[in-house]
A and B are shown apart, each in its own frame.
Chain A
């Protein structure tokens, strides 16, 4: 049996809910460490500028054959889930077919990229770097779910309900650009640091780029148990391929 340790925040919840039928199947044992849960909270601490990993996590890492991370994953939503009163837009090399709306404040792509990188460095990259540094096994990172449809967000608005009484949901084209850029930045980081980035399953996405409604949790950004199941199937394939190639 090979032990797989999954570590992450709220996006990992969907996988945790779906993991039971995957246990001990095809030679894999799964340990889900959600960073809110004791004894893994807080997952990281800082002392004299150095990051320390929670000893319970270190113990898990010590007996694992692969580490799968889903740390962070919502920073694009902070920038653009709800329409900012100063509506903005940017050119997206990742999605060049999407329009650039001239009636919105133009922000250069490199500036949006720099802003997201700044936030990711502070909240995600430095932790991933630390995990990669201490890890003796392959580290994976799973992409955040694609943006939900505007209708889904409006119907499942909490905790944005109050904001959405004053502001609208940001248009899908902008949310898709931000999600894609967020994913690209993490993927680039992963490539540079020897971490394998796993895209979300194609089946999870509608033709318009939104998360399939049946896979969306009853909140504006997360996947549900069915999404978790789909993710685990993809993850399992990637892991088995990885072990086969060792």
Chain B
């Protein structure tokens, strides 16, 4: 027998001990990560979805040369500034923010016709246009007719199907547990009816606050459905460190925010234990851990700073890609040579000398 006394902790790595993994390190050097479950390469088709924090990771991954799958892109004639306002470059398809597991599940169900929500449209607040209740904020000005909305939705859902079928990995960032749903068919909305269009009616809509089991169930169904279309797809879950804007529960928003994140984190833990194709990346922990002393939060203490988003994204890239992304494979910004030619031709057309000649 050895002199040292054996216990289950004696053979554990430094990362298992707070003193060695945290207290004795400079905060900048702390990476609460072990080895990645698998490696990603510059060819891996990555789909992104989730709450607004997901946009930070998506943008930075793409900038670093990762292959962010885009199945719904703006026409080349549309300038990037304009396309950005219409949420074209935020996620793999134009679904806007997906805050809850129920929204993700129902996005899949709507894309494949498993769910056809009774709620077809909302009217804009000024009643001049129609909005898609499942992405009401991403088309400034809305749609001018129900027919136009219906065409746009069909095209969008086709792009969503393409995303689910083509992706190798889905990075999904969970943001909320609180949501509003239709009493008719249980369809959940990204925002409460009446906030960004539509009219709130307590007989039509009800408040829902998902618990850990609800989220796990949503994911089980989602994963089963996804496997039927893309059996090799893997999921990386993260939890958004961004605090909630408001709560409908009868409690303080701080309590609700922490409760929300705790439920989401606990659900992630259970989901990753139950489904081998799902892994977790601790972006939430990196942003909120006590050793960061709140430095990654903006002045309002709700959102995450650029530095925080950069830190988390760099850690994600280093964890999953190692040095396999150097930005060199980054796709150059699409240049519409046709538009450039047209612009030049129109300029010539308006040029006085040429016009003079034409008139002569």
Residues of A near any B CB (own CB < 8 A): 9-10, 13, 17, 34, 36-37, 74, 77-79, 81-82, 84-86, 88, 91, 93, 100, 105-111, 113-115, 118-119, 156, 158-160, 163, 167, 217-222, 224
Contact = CB atoms under 8 A, between A and B. Distances in A.
Given A109-B143, A163-B345, A37 B352 contact: yes
Given A34-B352, A220-B349, A110 B77 contact: no
15 contacts: A74-B346, A84-B77, A84-B338, A88-B77, A91-B148, A109-B143, A110-B140, A118-B81, A159-B345, A160-B349, A218-B359, A219-B358, A221-B346, A222-B349, A222-B355
A158 B351 CA distance: 12
Nearest to B88: A111
B136 interface: no
A107 B147 contact: no
User: DSSP class of B's interface residues: helix, strand, loop or mixed?
Assistant: helix
Contacts of B65: none
Interface in B153-173: 155
A224 B345 CA distance: 19
B144 interface: yes
A93 B144 contact: yes
A203 to B, nearest CB: 22
Interface string B329-350: 0000000001101110110111
Nearest first, the 6 closest Cβ-Cβ pairs linking A and B are A110-B141, A36-B352, A10-B350, A159-B348, A91-B148, A93-B144
B75 interface: yes
A9 B350 contact: yes
B145 interface: yes
Contacts of A74: 346, 349-350
Contact of A88 (B75, B142, B343): B75
A23 B314 CA distance: 70
Given A10-B350, A159-B348, A109 B341 contact: no
Interface of B: 74-79, 81-82, 85-86, 129, 139-145, 147-148, 151-152, 155, 338-339, 341-343, 345-346, 348-352, 354-355, 358-359
A91 B147 contact: yes
| Residue in B151, B351, B355 whose Cβ sees the most chain A Cβ within 10 Å | B355
B144 A105 contact: no
Given A109-B148, A110-B142, A114-B86, A13 B345 contact: no
B349 A106 contact: no
Contacts of B348: 159
B345 A79 contact: no
Contact of A110 (B143, B345, B352): B143
A74 B78 CA distance: 17
Contact of B85 (A36, A114, A167): A114
Contact of B355 (A100, A114, A219): A219
Contacts of A167: 338
Nearest to A110: B141
Contacts of A107: 75, 78
A105 B355 contact: no
A114 B76 contact: no
Contacts of B338: 82, 84-85, 167
A137 to B, nearest CB: 27
Contacts of B351: 10, 36
A40 to B, nearest CB: 11
Nearest to A85: B338
A106 to B, nearest CB: 6
Contact of A93 (B76, B139, B145, B346): B145
Contacts of A159: 345, 348-349, 354
A79 B345 CA distance: 12
Contact of B349 (A88, A110, A221): A221
B111 to A, nearest CB: 17
Nearest to B129: A110
A220 B354 CA distance: 13
B342 A217 contact: no
